[in-house]
Structure 1
Amino acid sequence: MGVPAFEIARGVRKYYNYQHKRQSCRRLRMRRPVLSILLLLLAASGISAQDRFGAIDRDLLLKIERPASQTDRRFLLAPQPTPGQLMFDAIHYDVDIAFDEKTGQVEGRVTAVVESTSEPLSQIDLNADPVLSILSVEMEGYGVLTFSRSGDVFSAVLPFALAPGERASITVHFEGNPISALNPGLFIRSHASGTVLYSLSEPWSARTWWPCKDYPDDKATFDIALSVRPGLFAASNGNFIGQADTTRWAEPFVRHRWKEEYPMPPYLFSIAASPYVLLTDDFVYAPGETMLVTHYVYPHLAAQAAVDLDIAVPALSYFSSLLGIYPFIGEKYGIATCGIGGGMEHQTLTSYGAALLTGDHRYDWLYIHEFGHQWFGDLVTCADWTHIWLNEGWASYFEALWFEHLGGPGDLKAYMQTMDTPLYWQGPVLRDPGNTDPWYYFDRVVYDKGAWIVHMLRHIMGDQDFFDATRAYLADPLFSYGNADSEEFEAAFEAFYGGQLDWFFDPWLTRTDRLACEWSWSSWEQEGHNHLSIYVRQLTDPPYVMPVDFRVSSGAGDADTVLWIDEAEESFVFETAGLVTGVQFDPDGWVLCDAAAVATGTESTPAAPFLSQNWPNPFNPSTTLCFGLDHPGPVRLSIYDARGGLVRTLIDGRLGEGTHEAVWNGKDSEGRPASSGVYFCRMTAGAKSFTRKLVLLR
């Protein structure tokens, strides 16, 4: 399944631009975008980010065309491919369908080019909901095939077995009324300018209105012909090829042809047919290179749309510079207005709810979300619905990236807070196998916590490595115009992180809680030196492993430091340039965490005994251990090897309150150099004891 050559795409684009002049919908040029200036002025006007983002209703993102409750057990879990479907790939679909917007009836033909992938293939299994009648199945060069049906699968027997790598062209003639499906993927609504017929197939409803192999991990290219009554324009994926009069059901129809040359899964194939006005703009992405931006909107919303949709070119420019050129640059990007409550990221042409066009940029966040799916969801699609957070979490993070672009770090922090919504989260990000809610795949946790996982990963890696990894992941031939799962995503980012990231991904994807802790700080002066102790106690069990920023304020100014939180209780001690006047936990909002500050302030002694991690670690030849006592008393500080054998006692006696230091020179009690390996420092102070792991590298 190849990507169209860039030179070919250039030629197609020129033809596409010409053909758009011949469309049956009125075409208007959009004004030059002024969105960034308007929003920056808004930010400067004194309106806080919290006020600007506070009215966002993120439930609009959910795929709300589904029934409120679903009782049919077919849909309790995602449908799984048959054994036969695992033995072939769909390479190309040639789809020719007529739609009656008055009755909901469809009739048409689908020709699927399939390729055997493993052992000899003797039958082809395709998906078709029972609301579709399969009239006949044919194989090019061999005529009519016999077929049988079971549920939403029909199986056609081939005249001979296809060897691995061999292809066949299978044509299916069908008719039916998709509107009546239990889980429909086709809808008809009325609006002030007429009627709209549109599709929303995610996650597995493409099969309700056209026969296909309906799984997200099988992408194909498309030739598309959509016939509707005169007065309607049928918008779809890819490049517009042209339109011509035809006859269906003994009535005049108009056949609109499109060509999608980039591989696409069936759920992203779309139709949006209505009386439309076409708003256009140009995205100049290189000297002399232009992609047409196309928005199909209801005539009565044209004025509002012209304002709201001027976001398109600025968004294309920014995200192309950040993550790599828009993935479908040889075709188009735009929206088609329809009756959906939110939006749906159909490849190259997002289906966009009419209520979102208000003329005041109120729903820019949702526009950016669906736009972001062109990279995460369309370019790289989740391998199966269990990993839908790779689509939805990333698209949600696009929203935050956009507002960071416009308003800076403060807006990034404020926007991420709008996605801190644990009361709406049901279960972990990766679906719990015991959860039988059919729409759990699209619970708020997938969107909001998914975005937080991306946000935290960015901070862990740092911007340079994070965005380098993101661009490489999107461009990797293993995933680009294909699929990925969570493990593959993790491995791709580990290559840039330089180590394992399972300590991060495993708990955040599979647990239902979050990092929660109590923390305190104390500062004191001793013998002319200022000291700071930060104590953290995790309330979640087992404890999370997370780097957390602390901002320390003193007479010398503010200083940021990163502490790795990985134990149920731990203390960190520093010497500071001045007496500390304040400490902030995660001041810039990088960690999904409930943190409560307790018992903080300036003291003459530590609030509790502690043993800090040695520094440096690993070390050679020596390392320093800092520890503290909240009152005078006996203390013992000893080094043990990995087998528990005593190597050396550094301190064994009575010390006063305050902070103390001990240096281990890497030698045992006889003065002999210890060998490379793992050692443990154990501190005992009264009834309390602390242990730290040390690594000696010779």
Structure 2
Amino acid sequence: MLRSLSALLLCTFLCTCVPAQETGYYDTTAFTQADTLRGSLLPARANYDVTFYGLHLDIDPVERTIEGWVDMDYTITGQLPVLQLDLYENLQIDDITQGDTELRYTRKGNAVFVELPHPVDTGSRYRMTIHYGGEPREAQNAPWDGGFVWALDQRYRYWVGVACEGEGASLWWPNKDHLSDEPDSMLISVTVPERMYVASNGNLLEEVELEGERKRRFDWFVSYPINNYNVSINAGHYVHFEDTYRSFDGEELALDYYVMDYNLAKAKKQFKQVTPMLEAYEHYFGKYPFWDDGFALIETPYLGMEHQSGIAYGNRYMRGYLGGLIPDDMDWDYIIVHEAGHEYFGNSISVADHAEMWIHESFTTYLEALYVEYHMSAADARRYMVTQKKYIENVRPILGPLGVNFTAFGSSDHYYKGAWMLHTLRGMLNDDPLFLGLLRSFYQDHERSTVTTQQVVDYFSAYTERDLQPFFDQYLKHPTIPVLELRETDGQVMYRLQADVPGLAMPLGLLIDDEPVRVTATADWQPMGRGIALDAVRVDGTRFLVDRQVVENPE
């Protein structure tokens, strides 16, 4: 237990107020202290920066336990008498040391507060070591809930994986579990029974037989900054094969594949899709962002996850999403295309708060359409986008509350509705070179960095020389979408835009008797013309996420 002075300092650090977020939708939502401790940057977290993690773990797939330690290198950035780590409370801490000093700590739920041994200067650097172990949380439906996946393969051999995007990496290893702080590099050293093979992020440095223990250790190294939830380990009876991708400038990228031994032939055929996928994304955004760490697909007992440079693949070598989701005349693997798209948006461009996960998911979902457009046509991409509309629910804002680790989005709108928001912006601009140039420029200017929603809005507005704040506010901060209202007055069709955001004006593409027409809809009624039947006027649903409604007695 901390001494009384430390307890006072801890209280001071915890009582700093954090605003819940600006949408208004969540103003009456109650959040727990655990939500705040995990999601906010109070001084005990904000005032240090992690530069390196060394994760050393021994996995027992029979007992379903883990044991090991984490070395954490960090730099002091402000006053820090008490440092907050995160580790789920079901895992035990054996000790925490810094140099030769064992440090005092207290736990509050999943948060760990460590008393530093003496006053520290801003800019000073330290290594803290946390020994821990136990039975980690087990996922019941990975990757939609986080935890370890303890499985058996088709030959009844142990097969282990882990996915933890929403719940956080602290469910299986101690760290500063906040999206804003990525280590510059990371060592992932995993020991397993001797017949198993470990595949992880980055490059394999060494494989070591542990004499007399009937175990093997695999040391993987990540040389780029990485989100904590992207760190993953996979242990099973893998076989490895490799390929190369030649970029547009001639440089070769290492492609590594780790699959179940009985699926080798299937994998060699299915993973040929990686090259055209990388080609499409390089065309739109530039070279693969984690070049030195290579690109890998690792077969997992769950569907998939965007683990940086070591993507989890569990689509069973089927087209689409387990055989569905994409149009019947298309033949591509959804997990390869979607999860690899996250290498650009999610892993390279990242957010600092779960509330803004739309930046990860909306852009990546739109990358699927760009993949179709590159290899088929723009019309096919629009046709693919239309198939996503049925998944849009409009149940709550895409943008969540900041600072409280809010992950219960409740729908897939930050995927499909967010992608349609970008697609609608493309339709509004009606200038593909401008729109595609915007996406490429935004990505390249923010590659391997953390961004906010406001940065996206400001950049898009500056690049297009339009005020896009009302547009993004409508689609991100309100559950509903704009409505094009129509009425007939004195034989003339009138139209206006009904929206939650005052002053929203949208250039729209309409179809009048199937002929394309462009209008700019505002909150004011405007004439469309005479001799037009109301039922002949439609919004171009292949380019715009805007509803249509006929009103008889408008205000």
Q: TM-score range by the shorter chain?
A: 0.7 to 0.9
- Is 1:366 aligned to 2:335, yes or no? yes
Whether the 8 Å contact between 1:243 and 1:257 is mirrored in structure 2 is: yes
Moved more, 385-394 or 299-308: 299-308
Whether the 8 Å contact between 1:110 and 1:211 is mirrored in structure 2 is: yes
SS state of the match for residue 81, structure 2? strand
Change beyond 3 A, Cα 1:516–1:160: same
Task: Give 2:479's aligned residue.
Answer: 512
Deviation digits for residues 296-349 of structure 1 (CA, Å, limit 9, x no counterpart):
111222232222221101111111121111111122112211121x32101011
- Is 1:189 aligned to 2:151, yes or no? yes
Whether the 8 Å contact between 1:517 and 1:537 is mirrored in structure 2 is: yes
- Is 1:285 aligned to 2:247, yes or no? yes
Task: Give 1:591's aligned residue.
Answer: 544
Task: Give 2:176's aligned residue.
Answer: 213
C-alpha separation in 2, matches of 1:199 and 1:362: 29
The 5-angstrom pairing of residues 226-375 of structure 1 reads 226-246=190-210, 251-286=213-248, 289-340=251-302, 342-357=303-318, 364-375=333-344
Change beyond 3 A, Cα 1:363–1:73: farther
Select which of 74, 89, 92 maps to 1:114. 74
C-alpha separation in 2, matches of 1:94 and 1:541: 49
C-alpha separation in 1, matches of 2:263 and 2:42: 45
Deviation digits for residues 650-687 of structure 1 (CA, Å, limit 9, x no counterpart):
xxxxxxxxxxxxxxxxxxxxxxxxxxxxxxxxxxxxxx
- Is 1:104 aligned to 2:60, yes or no? no
Task: Give 2:526's aligned residue.
Answer: 570
- Is 1:427 aligned to 2:418, yes or no? no
C-alpha separation in 2, matches of 1:211 and 1:261: 20
Whether the 8 Å contact between 2:355 and 2:407 is mirrored in structure 1 is: no
SS state of the match for residue 451, structure 1? helix
Gaps of 5+ in 1: 1-70, 525-532, 600-687, 690-698
Task: Give 1:484's aligned residue.
Answer: 451
C-alpha separation in 1, matches of 2:150 and 2:411: 25
Whether the 8 Å contact between 1:539 and 1:568 is mirrored in structure 2 is: no
- Is 1:144 aligned to 2:102, yes or no? yes
Shift of 1:180: 5.5
C-alpha separation in 1, matches of 2:501 and 2:456: 25
C-alpha separation in 1, matches of 2:81 and 2:525: 62
Change beyond 3 A, Cα 1:187–1:374: same
Task: Give 2:352's aligned residue.
Answer: 383
SS state of the match for residue 468, structure 1? helix
Task: Give 1:457's aligned residue.
Answer: 425
Deviation digits for residues 566-599 of structure 1 (CA, Å, limit 9, x no counterpart):
125321459x9xx99x976444622102236899
C-alpha separation in 2, matches of 1:443 and 1:598: 30
Indicate the percent of aligned positions where both proteins have the same amino acid: 24
C-alpha separation in 1, matches of 2:479 and 2:433: 30
AA of the residue aligned to 2:102: V
The 5-angstrom pairing of residues 506-585 of structure 1 reads 506-519=473-486, 535-538=494-497, 544-550=504-510, 560-573=516-529, 585=538
Deviation digits for residues 192-221 of structure 1 (CA, Å, limit 9, x no counterpart):
042211110112331121110011111011
Shift of 1:552: 6.3
The 5-angstrom pairing of residues 79-94 of structure 1 reads 79-94=39-54
C-alpha separation in 1, matches of 2:405 and 2:449: 28
Q: Which has the higher strand share?
A: 1
Select which of 157, 167, 177 maps to 1:204. 167
Whether the 8 Å contact between 1:82 and 1:125 is mirrored in structure 2 is: no
Task: Give 1:68's aligned residue.
Answer: none
Shift of 1:258: 1.1
The 5-angstrom pairing of residues 16-55 of structure 1 reads none
Moved more, 229-238 or 582-591: 582-591
Whether the 8 Å contact between 1:104 and 1:179 is mirrored in structure 2 is: no
Moved more, 463-472 or 210-219: 463-472
C-alpha separation in 2, matches of 1:573 and 1:386: 44
C-alpha separation in 2, matches of 1:130 and 1:144: 20
The 5-angstrom pairing of residues 45-84 of structure 1 reads 74=34, 79-84=39-44
Shift of 1:286: 4.8
C-alpha separation in 2, matches of 1:427 and 1:257: 43
SS state of the match for residue 317, structure 1? helix
Whether the 8 Å contact between 1:131 and 1:180 is mirrored in structure 2 is: no
Task: Give 1:127's aligned residue.
Answer: 86
Shift of 1:137: 1.4
Task: Give 1:164's aligned residue.
Answer: 122
SS state of the match for residue 431, structure 1? coil
Whether the 8 Å contact between 1:127 and 1:214 is mirrored in structure 2 is: yes
Change beyond 3 A, Cα 1:409–1:77: farther
C-alpha separation in 2, matches of 1:502 and 1:450: 15
Whether the 8 Å contact between 1:230 and 1:254 is mirrored in structure 2 is: yes
Shift of 1:470: 2.2
SS state of the match for residue 178, structure 1? coil
Whether the 8 Å contact between 2:289 and 2:447 is mirrored in structure 1 is: no
Whether the 8 Å contact between 1:301 and 1:357 is mirrored in structure 2 is: no
C-alpha separation in 1, matches of 2:77 and 2:496: 54
Change beyond 3 A, Cα 1:217–1:537: same
Shift of 1:428: 1.3
Shift of 1:516: 2.5
Which structure's CA Rg is the greater one?
Answer: 1
Q: Which has the higher contact order (CA 8 A, sep 6+)?
A: 2
AA of the residue aligned to 1:301: N
Gaps of 5+ in 2: 1-30, 324-329
Whether the 8 Å contact between 1:204 and 1:214 is mirrored in structure 2 is: no
C-alpha separation in 2, matches of 1:426 and 1:481: 32
Question: Which TM-score applies when normalising by structure 1?
Answer: 0.66
AA of the residue aligned to 2:178: Y
Shift of 1:410: 2.1
Task: Give 1:530's aligned residue.
Answer: none
Shift of 1:377: 0.4
Change beyond 3 A, Cα 1:318–1:184: closer
C-alpha separation in 1, matches of 2:420 and 2:295: 27
Task: Give 2:413's aligned residue.
Answer: 445
AA of the residue aligned to 2:521: I
Considering only aligned residues, what root-mean-square deviation do their CA atoms show, in Å? 3.5
AA of the residue aligned to 2:305: M
Change beyond 3 A, Cα 1:368–1:597: farther
Change beyond 3 A, Cα 1:387–1:423: closer
Change beyond 3 A, Cα 1:515–1:284: same
AA of the residue aligned to 2:466: G
SS state of the match for residue 367, structure 1? helix
Whether the 8 Å contact between 1:89 and 1:116 is mirrored in structure 2 is: yes
C-alpha separation in 1, matches of 2:166 and 2:67: 23
Whether the 8 Å contact between 2:496 and 2:522 is mirrored in structure 1 is: no
C-alpha separation in 1, matches of 2:486 and 2:388: 24
AA of the residue aligned to 1:157: E
Moved more, 98-107 or 405-414: 405-414
C-alpha separation in 2, matches of 1:437 and 1:224: 26
SS state of the match for residue 441, structure 1? coil
